[in-house]
Chain A
Amino acid sequence: MSDKVTSNEQFANPELAAVRIDEDSEDLSRSEVLLKGALAAGAVYGTLAVGPFVRKALAMTGGSDVDILNFALTLEYLEAKFYEEAKTRAKASGELKSLVNLLASDEKQHVEALTATIKDLGGTPVKAPGVDFGDAFSSADAFTTLAITFEDTGVSAYNGAAPMIKSKEVLAAAGGIVQVEARHAAAIRLQNKEEPAPEAFDPPLDEKQVLKAVEPFLA
């Protein structure tokens, strides 16, 4: 069991710099867990309260709420079509198959709800995009890998766009959707034997970054 002295000039709490935590111990006390978390988060936040990724989110310029919802709708269409196709084409069985059915149903409901809300706001919903998922259905592994990309990207897209939403009600609704996307992400990751929550903070992505991630699949 080794003691580690961890130091970081940029710690938000300089007094943490000299903290020794027995990294190998399984028996960290509550205080030690808190300190360890502080060290980890301190590496992200440095001396600033607002992490670099939060500042990035604020640098994004948003359009109207309808624009934002239409952006979300495109992503939801992509996911809905992906899972709908997966029902017949992905080589999924057992738990994964059940999950695919749930995902397909949820994303379809998201599409319907976003479409209705955009109309209610007096906007015109975007049309369903053409899609091409390549060889994503060649194996269960290929499928889950792409599903993880879509869900993780979806979470970050919502997290990136939400601070720009003007209506509190639209924001609350978007929040209800993003949480479900995060749940989806965790579930698929578990199916692929990956960590459900790899990071303590889900970063926001701007529209350009999101489109870069999903563009290959828009026909």
Chain B
Amino acid sequence: MADMKQLAGPQSRRKFLAVGGGSTALAAFLAACGSDSDSMSTSTTTMKPAGKSETAQFGKGDVGILNYALTLEYLETAFYADVVKSGLFKGADLETIRKFGMEEAEHVQALTQAVKSMGAKPAPEPKAEFPLESAKSVLELAATVENLGAAAYLGQAANIESPEVLASALAIHSVEGRHAAALNTLLGETITPDGAFAKPADVKTVLKSVEPFIVG
């Protein structure tokens, strides 16, 4: 994939990863490690606003968080399925993409079951369309989505009330981090766009980023 290494740098991707959620410990971590010049650090002084939960539109409490995650996982699954069918990839890259898609589908199942076990209704599968113009643009989009997805989970970890739900979310979150790093590698980009400490993304930012792909 040598030609894949020419591309827009991490900056364009970071647009999607506005730091949100406000974690003072993260701020302490960042301060402790000194220079933070390479990363966006605008949120480190922002505390999460009290009151309405960010994921209320998806349901109450942990259900809302799970359904938010479920929505993202549906989008990722659909995206990878489309990419596999597109014929843009072959060989090892195709297998990687196929595998990632299967894992997202497993995430859909796990999150769906988790919501049902709480007696709530799982979020519906959104109707989505993705641009599939070239292998390069697809890889870039995949990397954007995975880096964003990992940040989305990280953004919600501290909001989760149930230790069970948290354990499940963490088991998924780290896999999204693996996906992101793998795709970044395929693109010839850094595996850690945020440096040694991954940054969270807030719900508004994440939804705004995926909105263009949701149709009807």
A interface residue numbers (CB < 8 A to B): 12, 26-30, 32-38, 40-42, 44-45, 48-51, 53-54, 57-58, 99, 102, 105-106, 109-110, 112-113, 115-117, 120, 155, 158-159, 162-164, 167-173, 175-187, 190, 195-197, 199-204
> Do B106 and A201 touch across chains, with their CB atoms under 8 A apart?
yes
What A residues does B101 contact at CB under 8 A? 33
How many A-B pairs fall under 8 Å by CB? 261
CB of B174 within 8 A of CB of A179, answer yes
Q: How many residues of B contact A (CB 8 A)?
A: 71
What is B's interface to A at a CB cutoff of 8 Å? 21, 23-26, 28-29, 31-34, 74, 77-78, 80-82, 84-85, 96, 99-110, 113-114, 116-118, 125, 150, 154, 157-158, 163-164, 166-168, 170-175, 177-182, 184-185, 190-192, 194-200
Taking CB atoms, residues of chain B closer than 8 Å to A184 are: 181, 191
Of the residues B32, B108, B150, B172, contact of A113 by C-beta under 8 Å:
B32
Point out the residues of chain A lying under 8 angstroms from B198, CB to CB.
Answer: 175-177, 179-180, 183
Residues A28 and B81 in contact, CB atoms below 8 Å apart: yes
**What would 29 A/B residue contacts be, using CB atoms closer than 8 Å?**
A27-B85, A28-B84, A30-B77, A33-B101, A35-B105, A37-B106, A40-B109, A51-B168, A53-B171, A57-B167, A109-B196, A112-B32, A112-B33, A112-B34, A116-B29, A117-B28, A162-B167, A172-B21, A172-B158, A175-B154, A176-B29, A180-B196, A180-B197, A180-B198, A186-B177, A197-B175, A197-B182, A199-B175, A200-B172
Tell me, rounded to whole Å, the shortest Cβ–Cβ distance linking A46 to chain B: 10
**Chain B at the A interface: mostly helix, strand, loop or mixed?**
helix
Residues of B within 8 A of A57 (CB): 163, 167
Chain B residues contacting A53 (CB-CB under 8 Å) are 171
Are A175 and B170 in contact (CB-based, < 8 A)?
Answer: yes
Give the residue name and chain of the A residue nearest to B103 (CB).
Answer: A200
Q: Is B167's CB under 8 angstroms from A58's CB?
A: yes
A37 touching B171 in the complex, CB below 8 Å, given contacts A12-B113, A50-B164, A179-B177: no
Known: A99-B191, A180-B177. 5 other contacts (CB 8 A): A30-B77, A110-B196, A112-B33, A120-B28, A169-B24
